[in-house]
Amino acid sequence: MIKLLLVEDDASLAYIEKTGLEDIIGGYEVTTAANGKEGVKAWEETHPDVIISDIDMPVMNGFEMVERIRETDGNVIIIFTSALTSPNDVKAGYRLGINNYVKKPFVPEELDAHIQALMKMRGGAKTQKETSHYKLGKYTLDAEHATLRNDDTGVSQTITQREAQILAILADNKNNVVRREAILSRFWNTEDDYFASRSLDVFVNKLRKLLADESKITLKTVRGIGLQLIVES
């Protein structure tokens, strides 16, 4: 079953697309959202395999939503759908990390074909964003198995899954600042902002201690913005 998030502000169109994928095509479990803000929340809650999104929406548009999601998730397949797409829109979307455009109107079979093709491609060799191993100076992080190996000594230590996930996100975006809110929304219930923020600080301090003896690695706090994992070549 493919978990699909459909972000569309036209309720009638969303219903047609949802029923088309679930009832006509089959093999899809579809969650809907009416704008980008709802889309981000649904993505956090459902962890979909595929996101199908309109671009021009109220509250938060498709570009803003994808920018938020791609800060921490380089794996989910994202397809934009739009009736009118300018070359600038196309370039902007691909710069943000979408996987394809489908022009409206379309039939369920057409959308299914695009999704199946992208998933088949995704099933091949892993991209840089999909790998679970990260070289960090003399250390190698295995995010999938939550281990940090010292390549000089060959000794591996087990870290917590949350520590591995946070470090992997920072490594995916090495030398770039990752917004603090993006990490918090990914791993914590941000309804309790104070608790979530303090918890993140604890994990960051632990990661700094783990990497303290590697001079080529700096885990920097950029005040008022977020975190930056600086990796010297």
Sign of CA dihedral 158, 208, 150, 187: positive
* CATH code reported for the domain at 2-122: 3.40.50.2300
Q: Over the stretch 112-147, which tens digit does the pLDDT of each residue have?
A: 999 998 888 876 534 444 457 899 999 999 988 889
* CA 204 – CA 3 distance, rounded (Å): 32
In the predicted model, what is the mean pLDDT of residues 218-231? 93
- The 3 state secondary structure assigned to 139-175 is EEEECCCCEEEECCCCEEEECCHHHHHHHHHHHHCCC
pLDDT, mean over the chain: 88
- Angle formed by the axes of helices 193-210 and 180-187, to 10°? 100
- The pTM score is 0.65
| CATH 1.10.10.10 placement within the chain | 133-231
Q: Look up residue 98 and give its two tokens.
A: 């979408």
Q: Over the stretch 86-109, which tens digit does the pLDDT of each residue have?
A: 788 888 888 888 999 998 888 889
Out of 1.10.645.10, 1.20.1740.10, 1.10.630.10, 1.10.10.10, select the CATH number for domain 133-231. Answer: 1.10.10.10
Q: Over the stretch 27-82, which tens digit does the pLDDT of each residue have?
A: 999 999 999 999 999 999 999 999 999 999 999 999 999 999 988 888 899 999 98
pLDDT value for 130: 47
Total length of the chain: 233
* CA 55 – CA 133 distance, rounded (Å): 34
- 53 in Cβ contact with 66 (< 8 Å): yes
| CATH 3.40.50.2300 placement within the chain | 2-122
